[in-house]
Amino acid sequence: MAAMEKLYEGKAKILYTTEDPEVVVSQFKDDATAFNALKRGTIVGKGQMNCAIGTALFNLLESKGIPTHFIEQTSPNEMRVKRVQIVPLEVVIRNIAAGSLCKQTGIPQGTVLKQPLVEFFYKNDELGDPLLTRDRLLLLELATPEQLEQLRAMALEINQILSEFFHQCQIILVDFKLEFGFDGKGNLILADEISPDTCRLWDESQTDPTDRILDKDRFRQDLGNVENAYQQVLERVLSHLSI
């Protein structure tokens, strides 16, 4: 099914309509942004690598019973996905302290959390995607209490599946961001992408705190070897996928 009109262009992907009103094509770009688009650049081959990694991980999650928007990969940097009404929340799951958690709480980077932490950020560029409290989230009517519980439960289940899988790949899943949406039937399903753009991934075989980084932090912190890191993740994910 050919892509038709541009529906939406985000920082890392473009969505196109198709002949089927319930299906869109998601095209992955090489563009990279960080710090709410204050830093911009290109990661050569990122679109194709993230599309392939996302395809593998969505297939894995579907095989474990997690409903996702993924339908099929249609070209090296495109996938067909179900059209959803996105819930304007960024659901972040953390296993190890890093990034904004360390900045905002003083917990040292690398601290293993006693249990996974689920956080909700308001998906709103103008406001800088602020961290929400449960009460603020309910005040803004971004979800009902039941939907909030469903989001938390799905996020934790996805974390368990992905953490185990990445461990098989000799990669630590430090933290990651998920987005969810409602499909045409009103079901809450996993949407957006899962890739080194949206996860912190540390190489288990490296102890050096910089060398071990296999994700977008290499771009955010100008650490170099960004493409190599994404390629490493892609190769390990593909070679460990057995579904």
* Smallest gap from residue 22 Cβ to ligand C5P (A): 26
Q: Give the binding range for ligand C5P (CB under 6 A) out of 21-29, 74-82, 145-153, 195-203.
A: 195-203
Q: Which of residues 204-243 bind ligand C5P (CB under 6 A)?
A: 216
Binding span for ligand C5P by CB under 6 A among 65-73, 107-115, 158-166, 194-202: 194-202
The CB-of-216 to ligand C5P minimum distance in angstroms stands at: 6
Binding of ligand C5P at residue 199 (CB under 6 A)?
A: yes
Query: According to CB under 6 A, which residues from 124 to 163 bind ligand C5P?
Result: 129
176 binds ligand C5P (CB under 6 A): yes
Binder of ligand C5P out of 12, 92, 172, 233 (CB under 6 A): 92
The residue assigned the tokens 């289940």 is 157
Closest CA to 190 of 80, 81, 35: 81
Residue 175 interacting with ligand C5P (CB under 6 A): yes
Least distance from C-beta 11 to ligand C5P, angstroms? Answer: 9
Please give the residue ranges that form the binding site for ligand C5P (CB under 6 A). 90, 92, 98-101, 129, 175-177, 198-200, 216
